[in-house]
Chains A and B, each alone.
Chain A
């Protein structure tokens, strides 16, 4: 273990990235994880000032982008999470075309709820142990999910004093509705996917979880529910950090890391882009710049740390502002192939038939599959 090290250290030559990562972050490590902050000399010198400047700069750029709209209310509410940032950067034309479906949250479903339910169940498991004044035992994924679901159901009942209170959450309310409807297939699918998330998270981070780890975007007393930021009260823009956990306490001196867990790495974007977005979103929401972003992969077992610096935050901000800019363009111009950016996503794109660049790309791509020629 490195002498001053507290985090996973890149191992030369052990590249294991998912795709399109052209940076040197795409390396795997199985170094132990600890929660000690980097030393002052390694860390951003002024995490609070950095976040303040980032807020001012992001607000300015977002206001500039919104000023291009034909009228103040024309854009509507803009929710900027990682998925929107990835989509807007991957192919602006396709992202604008999604306006036909409203860009909105499509509603919970097992595939969308797996991570949220897994985090909520793990947070509940830890909170129960905290309440009992004992260390949390290694959670058994399916049992942890079922215990959390039963606790959700107990929320509306008169308590017998044994069931710990569980704070409400959107996904929790959806689970209750599914339960009320007697939809056991959906509950089983949720259990399968949430259990997979929980198992992968605990496997990659280890158990006991690293000291100082706090779950994010999860309900209950053992977690932080949401990390969101709006440029101002009247702004239609909401930026949401999608990190799964935080390592270390938030103080004015910084020194905390974000943890982003990816069940599968193949369907996410380049690791540096994801780290940049979540770092910027967290700095905006918390008001303190994180020290680093630890990205883990359930399928690869990788743990990769990206130090947060001005360049990374600038890249993240660029991604955030790009979403707003495309939403402004979309007021008058939805899908338009002039700025289409063909990629593997063209295979599943609803706009392919109207997209000459995409069709041209597909004519080549269809002659190859998985890196091999198709006969």
Chain B
């Protein structure tokens, strides 16, 4: 049986004990100090890591250093709407969230980008909004009506400073449930507007690590809810936190070498398909998906 958020909240697992968290902080701090020595960051001009940058540095440093983040197409816009809808569902007593309500919520939060873009599109926005509506219906049902005792909070900020503030790791958790002082175990909910792929798990692991470092308690679960209908539940265990810390440590090492002037490695892969710097990247241009006819052609 596929486990969903409702199942997690109905029968929350026991979170791992926080015994190893202090050791992880110490190890990360040591790693950050070593990286600082190479990268030259300071408290005033720190290395600022986010989940996107950590993943980017490990996946392809060349892409991570790109000034071009790619054009925000309709998919990105729909993703924002879906993300806002999920957050609205988490904080609002309403059972059904519409595209209009999600866009109005975003605007009220101070981000009028989506509303402006839809207004510019006029009637042409219809396809986009119907796509968003379908995804919202799939995604928000599990978030609506969460018991208030779980303290649903959206975009909960979390930040860890290492090496005397020369390296910071920060993020905003889409929806955080439970955790101190609620008396219930913490549950991290990450909302994804696109399609599920395994790499999404890393975001939940990183946030679980950051929350554990912040609160001194390990969250019980990280739940990734994707608008393609996928819900991925991962119950936290020490090995996952250690893995997240290892990724973070490796990202700091890569960042240090880049800051010191080392040319970025080009690591081709499936991400090349939508990489904005691919035209200037020999490795990216040469890469083909497995089984691609062009790749095997003489």
Chain A positions within 8 Å of B, measured between CB atoms, are 15-22, 26, 30, 109-111, 138, 140-143, 146, 183-186, 188-193, 195-196, 199-200, 202-203, 206-207, 263-266, 297-301, 369-375
Q: Is B160 in the interface zone, CB < 8 Å from A?
A: yes
Contacts A22-B43, A374-B67 known; A206 to B181 CB distance under 8 Å? yes
- Complex Cα spacing A185 to B98, Å: 11
Q: Which of A109, A196, A369, A375 contacts B154 (CB 8 A)?
A: A196
Which of A140, A190, A191, A203 is B180 in contact with, Cβ under 8 Å? Answer: A203
Tell yes or no: B170 within 8 A of A by CB: yes
A301 to B180, CA, bound (A): 11
* B161 contacts A16, C-beta separation under 8 Å: yes
A22-B43, A192-B87 given; A185·B149 CB < 8 A: no
**Which residues of B are found within 8 Å of A199, using beta-carbon distances?**
151, 153, 156
Identify the stretch in B75-83, B105-113, B198-206, B282-290 within 8 Å (CB) of chain A at 4 or more residues.
B105-113
User: Which one of A188, A263, A370, A372 lies within 8 Å of B92 (CB-CB)?
Assistant: A188
Main secondary structure of the interface of B (DSSP, over half): mixed
Q: How far is the CA of A42 from the CA of B159 in the complex (A)?
A: 33
Specify the chain A residue showing the minimal Cβ separation from B36. Answer: A371
Cross-chain contact A299 with B157 (CB below 8 angstroms): yes
Q: A374-B65, A375-B62 are in contact. List 11 more A-B contacts (CB 8 A).
A: A18-B159, A138-B182, A138-B183, A142-B152, A146-B93, A185-B107, A192-B155, A196-B153, A266-B159, A371-B41, A371-B259
Residues of A within 8 A of B261 (CB): 373
Residues of A with C-beta under 8 A to B151:
140-142, 195, 199
Contact A141 B153 (CB under 8 A): yes
- Asked if residues B149 and A140 are in contact (CB atoms below 8 Å), the reply is yes
A–B complex contacts, Cβ < 8 Å, 16 sampled = A18-B159, A19-B46, A20-B44, A22-B43, A111-B109, A111-B110, A138-B182, A183-B108, A188-B88, A195-B153, A199-B151, A199-B153, A200-B157, A299-B158, A370-B48, A372-B65
Q: A202 contacts which chain B residues (CB < 8 A)?
A: 181
Q: Does B164 contact A (CB under 8 A)?
A: yes
B215 and A203 form a contact (CB under 8 A)? yes
Whole-angstrom distance from the CB of B296 to the nearest CB of chain A?
Answer: 32
Is B39 in the interface zone, CB < 8 Å from A? yes
Asked whether A185 and B104 contact (CB < 8 A) given A19-B165, A141-B153, A192-B154, the answer is yes
A337 to chain B: closest CB distance in Å? 22
What residues on A are CB-neighbors of B43 within 8 Å? 15, 17, 19-22, 26
- Separation of A218 and B88 alpha carbons in the complex (Å): 26
B49 at the interface (CB under 8 A from A): yes
Are the CB atoms of A207 and B110 closer together than 8 Å? no
Say whether A196 contacts B109, CB under 8 Å: no
Q: Is B255 positioned at the interface, with any CB of A under 8 Å from its CB? A: yes
A16–B158 alpha-carbon span in the complex (Å)? 12
B67 near A375: Cβ-Cβ < 8 Å: yes
Give the docked Cα–Cα distance between A203 and B215 (Å).
9
Chain B residue numbers with a CB within 8 Å of A301 are 214-216
Q: Mark B66-90, 1 if CB is under 8 A from A, else 0.
A: 1100000000000000000001100
Residues of chain A with a CB closer than 8 A to B155's CB = 192, 196
Q: Within 8 Å of chain A (Cβ to Cβ): is B9?
A: no
A25 vs chain B, min Cβ distance (A): 12
Q: Look across to chain A and name the residue whose beta carbon is closest to the beta carbon of B63.
A: A375
Query: Hey, which bits of chain B sit against chain A, CB under 8 A?
Result: 39, 41, 43-50, 53, 62, 64-67, 87-88, 91-93, 101, 104-105, 107-110, 148-149, 151-161, 164-165, 168, 170, 179-183, 214-216, 255, 258-259, 261, 264, 277
> Which B residues are CB-close (under 8 A) to A185?
101, 104-105, 107-108
Nearest Cβ in chain A — how far from B109, in angstroms? Answer: 5
A-side contacts of B93, CB under 8 Å: 146
A295, chain B: closest CB distance, angstroms: 14
Q: Quick one: which of A19, A143, A206 has the most chain B CB within 10 A?
A: A19
**Residues on the A chain within 8 Å of B165, using CB:** 15-19, 21, 26
Chain A proximity of B25: nearest CB distance (Å): 9
B212 CB to nearest chain A CB (Å): 11
Docked Cα-Cα span, A266 to B110, in Å, equals: 19
Q: How far is the CB of B107 from chain A (nearest CB, A)?
A: 7
B203 vs chain A, min Cβ distance (A): 17
Q: A17-B165, A374-B67, A375-B65 given as contacts; is B110 within 8 A of A109 (CB)?
A: yes
Task: Assess the B255–A188 pair: CB atoms within 8 A.
Answer: no
In the complex, what residues of B have CB within 8 A of residue A17's CB? 43, 161, 165
Quick one: given A15-B165, A199-B151, are A189 and B108 in contact (CB under 8 Å)? yes
Contact status B158-A189, CB under 8 Å: no
A227 CB → nearest B CB, Å: 26
Question: In the complex, A202 Cα to B170 Cα: how many Å?
Answer: 21
**A369: nearest chain-B partner, CB-CB:** B67
Give the docked Cα–Cα distance between A206 and B183 (Å): 12
Q: Which residues of chain B come closer than 8 Å to A15, judged between CB atoms?
A: 43, 161, 164-165
In the complex, the chain B residue whose C-beta lies closest to that of A199 is B153
Which residue on B lies nearest to A193, using beta carbons? B109
Q: For the complex, give the distance between the alpha carbons of A199 and B179 in Å.
A: 11
- Of the residues B44, B46, B62, B91, contact of A191 by C-beta under 8 Å: B91
Q: Which 6 A-B pairs have the closest CB atoms?
A: A185-B104, A371-B47, A189-B108, A299-B157, A299-B159, A370-B48
Q: Point out the residues of chain A lying under 8 angstroms from B153, CB to CB.
A: 141, 192, 195-196, 199
**How far, in whole Å, are A184 and B157 apart by their CA atoms in the complex?**
24
A251 to B66, CA, bound (A): 58
Q: In the complex, which residue of chain A has the Cβ closest to the Cβ of B109?
A: A189
B51 to chain A, nearest CB (A): 12
A149 CB, nearest partner CB in chain B, Å: 12
Q: Taking CB as reference atom, which chain A residue is nearest B254?
A: A372
B87, B155, B181, B258: most-surrounded residue (chain A CB, <10 A): B181
Cα-based distance from A190 to B88 in the complex (angstroms): 11
Q: Which chain B residue has the least Cβ–Cβ distance from A140?
A: B148
Bound together, the chains give a CA A352 to CA B194 distance in angstroms of 37
User: Are A203 and B109 interface neighbours, CB within 8 A?
Assistant: no
- CA distance in complex: A66, B48 (Å): 42
